[in-house]
Every structure is written in structure tokens, then in C-alpha cells.
Amino acid sequence: MEPGFVPIAILTFAFLAYYFAHKRRKRSLLPPGPKGYPIVGNALDVPTEAPWKKYHQWCDELGSDIIYLNIAGVDTIVVDSLETATELLDKRSSIYSSRRPSPMINELMGWEWDIVFVPYGDLWRAQRKMLHQTFHTTASHKFHPHMQKNAHYLLRQFLKRPGDVIPNLRHMAGKTIMDIAYGLEVQDENDPYTKLAEEANRTVLEACVPGAFLVDSIPILKYVPEWVPGASFKKKARDWKELATTMVEKPYKAALNRIESGNFIPSFMAYRFFDIQEKKEDYSQHEYVIKSVAAAMYSAGSDTNVAVISTCIIGLLQRPDILKRAQEAIDSVVPFGELPNFDDQEKLPIVTAICMESLRWKNPLPVAMPHVLIQDDIYKGYVLPKGSVVVANSWAMLHDATVYPDPFSFKPERFLKNGKIDEDVRDPAKMVFGYGRRRCPAHHFAVAAVWIAVASLIASFDITRAVDDNGNIVDEDPPYEESLICIAKPFKCKMVPRSEKHERVIRATADREYRYEW
């Protein structure tokens, strides 16, 4: 035996004993969680599809609304109830509002500008302030003409292609965002701006899937040269970064040229441009924030808009009685054959209830974008370590049978009482649009855009299941994509105008003048 071996062995043994004792002691102070494996922890236990269901299962098995996971060395806290989400993410938002930068998305793909991924700090505060100024409850009303115009466009699309639900909704959503963010008119399905944004958005959704790229778990891999075997992600990231940069720059420059020429329609960019001029401030000091917020609006809003409205249609296919009831309500408020507008909203609580249930039933973001804890915290006697990723399981909260009886059924009537919205039933918007300081600052705008589209569809069309040549129902229960965003896969249904007058009114909207607020 070589000299010095015994002392080294003793010291090594003592170190390992202390290390594992410390790990056990630390583990005993953490919230309960599944055991996991060496090194990778629970990474192999979390499914890539519908992880929120597994999270909720673990919470049930462990009897806790807060659990701990070790995802390949990353401390992860799953929050399964609104009570805990409110306490941590709302009341303690000053320490729970950051993001964990993704080497793939933020650095390699160049999405460091997107408010969804920006860490808590000066840039994020500037972006959020600008969004709030433009889209708070009162300010968002000035975009009602834009929303109504694009809802009417959707109706005309369903006259042309009555069965193509997802393509019609996707084009309408892209048209709405381009209109409101930039003031750019999208003419048809082949519009270069929406095509560009859709493609860029697809890449970031792919990169957001947990475990999609090893570099997010082992950040040092970002330094590996592109030619090294196994580093194909570097080339993919380079191509995707070019796409993202073009998406940010191209519509921005086109919109700015129109604003400077005086030939523009009111938009987020126009409002901010002239607000800065009025304050006699240097536009260049605000340009990056304006540019990044405008691009982020498409990234954050397009798919969620499609997800909610398509879910509404699927729900109405399951509940033709609710569709009929809503049509009768609209006919009692709006002259038969005419189209509803925002002035009718308070008189049509059933349409509001349908939208609320669509948000709840198949909520578009089952798991909120993860928050990051910036300092150690203690909750219910548990130690929550600094740097922990905190995941709010919105799906579990929105399907809590103690709050929403029969939660997996589409029941808009759960939100109604005596012909009004029942204020005692928890509003799904509290969980759908995020938590604390990371709550979507444009959620009033998002809800309004969904409401006018859904009200217009219900008023104008009889919506029934599609059938094949043999009379068999097609797509009786359309499946959903269950990844970052929960959205129905393309499906068919039958959209028939309720009368000849409805059809004439829909077609006439093509020549209608919309008066924008300025």
C-alpha cells in the first residue's frame, strides 16, 4: 500500500459521508417529491407530453400541493393549487419573477428580446411598462375596431372554407396581431409577414419542449463547434436565429416607414411612436423595447388565440343546446341577421360564460411559463432553494372538482347565475394568463379579442359536426397537441349561415369602414 493512501482514503470517506449526509439533510427540508435516479434525478420520470397530469398525480400521491423535483440537477418546485401559487408567485413576486435563461433559445437562437424569456430586470420592466400603457383595461378599448374588423374577416373565411377551422383561425389570429402590433394589413393566406412569424414561432415552441436540446441541461455545449459530430443543434440554432431576426426586423421597418410617411392606421407601434414624440424624448432610446414588444406580441398571442376559439367551437359541437341558447340570447339583443359588437357584451353573459369555460376546459397553457426564485425562501416549513425553477400547474387548478364540479365536461352554465356571470365562481383568467408580475399585461386585450370572435361566430353560423359521404361523423373528438401550448389538431366541422340575411351581412363587411380611435 502506497504511503499516504490510508489518510487520503479516510479523508475521502469523511468527505463523501459529509456530502451525502448534507444532501439527505437538505433533501429532508425540501417539499416531498418522487425519489428519482442518480445524476439525472427525475428527468426520466417527467413525460414530454402532458407533464401537468404527472405533476398532479405526484401531488395526489404525496398529499401535497407543492412538490420538489430534481430535473438533471435543476431544483424544480411544482405548485398545484391557486392558494400556493398566490402566496408564492403573487404575494412574494419580488423574488419569484425571474426566468431561467435557455442557452438554446436566449443565446443560440437569439430570442433574448422576447419578454416571455427575459430575466427579471430593467429590460423586462421597460417592456412590461410599455405593454401596460397600451393594453390595460381602458386603453385596450381603442383596439376594439381592429378586433371587430378581423372577427368579420373570420366570418368571411368560413363562408369560403366552412370546414377548415384551424387554418381559418390561424390566419385570422395572425392578421389581428399584425394589424394591432404594426398596423400592417394582411391580405391573404400567403402574406409574407404572417408566414415568417408562424415559422419563427414554430421553432421557439419546438425549442421550449423540456429535454428537446441537451445544451439547456449542459450549457457548456454551446461552445462546441458546429462541425463536431452531435453538434447539429448549432446549425439549427443558427438558421433559426436568422429567421427570428428577420421576423423582428422586417415588419418593424415596414411599419416605421408607414408611420413616418403619415400613411398608417393606429397600432401599438404608432401609439408608442407619437407618445415619444409628444414627450420630446429620443426615439432611439426606446426603439429596442418597441421593436421587441411588437415581435413578442405575435409570439405570445397567436397560438393562444387559436387554441381558445377552436376549443370553444369543439365545446359547442358537444353542446348544441348551449349554442342554441346563446343564439337565442344574441337574437334578443341584436336585430336578427345583424352582428354583435362590444356594446352588447354586458347584455350577453352567456357568450362570456362560453369564453370563460373555453379558457378553463382546455386551457391553452396548462403549465405557466416557469418562474425562477432569486433567493432562498421558506414556505410551510419547506426550504425552497435559490435558483429553483417554479412551475405553476394551471391545468390542475382549472380542473379542481371542488371548484369546478365535473371539471372535464364543457359546462358554460357553471359561470351563470340568475342570468348573470356568477362572481362566486373562480374566473379562469386568474390562472390562464400567468401569475404575479409575470402575468400577461395584455390579458384584457386577449379576452376581448376572443369574445368578439366567438360572439360573431355564434350569431352568424349554425355549427354542427362534419359528416362523410356515408353520413358518419368526422372528427367526433378532435385530439389535442399537448406540449407547451394545448391546441386542437386540425379538424373539420360544418358551418352554415343561419339565414340568407346573415350571409349577406357577412359579405357586406368586406366593404365596411371601421373607425379607429386615435
CA distances from 493 to 312, 407, 460, 471, 477 (A): 13, 24, 15, 13, 11
Helices 268-278 and 165-182: crossing angle in degrees, nearest 10, is 10
CA distances from 421 to 141, 334, 345, 368 (A): 21, 20, 12, 26
SS3 content of the chain, % helix, strand, coil (to 5): 55, 10, 35
- Secondary structure (3-state) at 469: coil
Exposed/middle/buried for 16, CB within 10 Å: 0-12, 13-18, 19+? exposed
What are the tens digits of pLDDT across the range 19-76? 444 444 456 699 999 999 998 899 899 988 899 999 999 999 999 999 999 998 899 9
What are the tens digits of pLDDT across the range 234-244? 999 999 999 99
CA distance 152 to 160: 13
CA-based nearest residue to 106, from 93, 91, 116, 92: 116
| Residues of the chain above pLDDT 70, percent | 94
Question: What b/e sequence results for 185-219 when a residue is b if at least 16 CB atoms lie within 10 Å of its CB, and e otherwise?
Answer: ebeeeebebbebbbebbebbbebbebebbebbbee
Is residue 360's pLDDT more than 50? yes
What are the tens digits of pLDDT across the range 82-120? 999 999 999 999 999 999 989 999 999 999 999 999 999
Residue with cell 411612436: 273
Average pLDDT over residues 338-347: 97
CA distance 175 to 194: 7
Cell numbers for 41: 434525478
pLDDT on residue 28: 66
User: Which of 144-148, 369-373, 380-384, 514-518 is least confident?
Assistant: 514-518
Decide which of 217 and 280 is more confident: 280
Output the pTM of the full model: 0.91
- C-alpha triplet 406, 412, 416: angle, nearest 5°: 105
Exposed/middle/buried for 469, CB within 10 Å: 0-12, 13-18, 19+? exposed
Q: Which helix (H) or strand (E) holds 192?
A: helix 192-208
Contact of 351 with 451, CB cutoff 8 Å? yes
CA distances from 115 to 149, 273, 304, 352 (A): 28, 20, 16, 29
Q: Label residue 6 by pLDDT band (50, 70, 90).
A: very low
CA distance 9 to 140: 69
Average pLDDT over residues 435-448: 93
Is residue 9's pLDDT more than 50? no
Q: Label residue 420 by pLDDT band (50, 70, 90).
A: very high
Exposed/middle/buried for 165, CB within 10 Å: 0-12, 13-18, 19+? buried
pLDDT on residue 307: 94
pLDDT on residue 15: 41
pLDDT on residue 16: 43
What are the tens digits of pLDDT across the range 191-205? 888 888 889 988 988
| Residues of the chain above pLDDT 90, percent | 77
User: Which of 19-28, 110-119, 256-265, 422-431 is least confident?
Assistant: 19-28
- C-alpha triplet 339, 345, 350: angle, nearest 5°: 95
Residue with cell 502506497: 2
Average pLDDT over residues 202-216: 85
Average pLDDT over residues 221-225: 93
pLDDT on residue 240: 96
Cell numbers for 128: 412590461
- C-alpha triplet 408, 409, 414: angle, nearest 5°: 110
CA distance 256 to 299: 20
Contact of 168 with 176, CB cutoff 8 Å? no
Exposed/middle/buried for 261, CB within 10 Å: 0-12, 13-18, 19+? exposed
Torsion angle of the four alpha carbons 259, 262, 265, 269, in this order, in degrees rounded to the nearest 10: 20
Average pLDDT along the chain: 91
Highest mean pLDDT among 37-51, 135-149, 371-385: 371-385
Is residue 4's pLDDT more than 60? no
- C-alpha triplet 453, 454, 458: angle, nearest 5°: 120
- C-alpha triplet 36, 37, 42: angle, nearest 5°: 45
Average pLDDT over residues 282-299: 93
pLDDT on residue 26: 58
Cell numbers for 253: 421597418
Q: What is the CATH number of domain 31-511?
A: 1.10.630.10
493 labelled ligand-binding = no
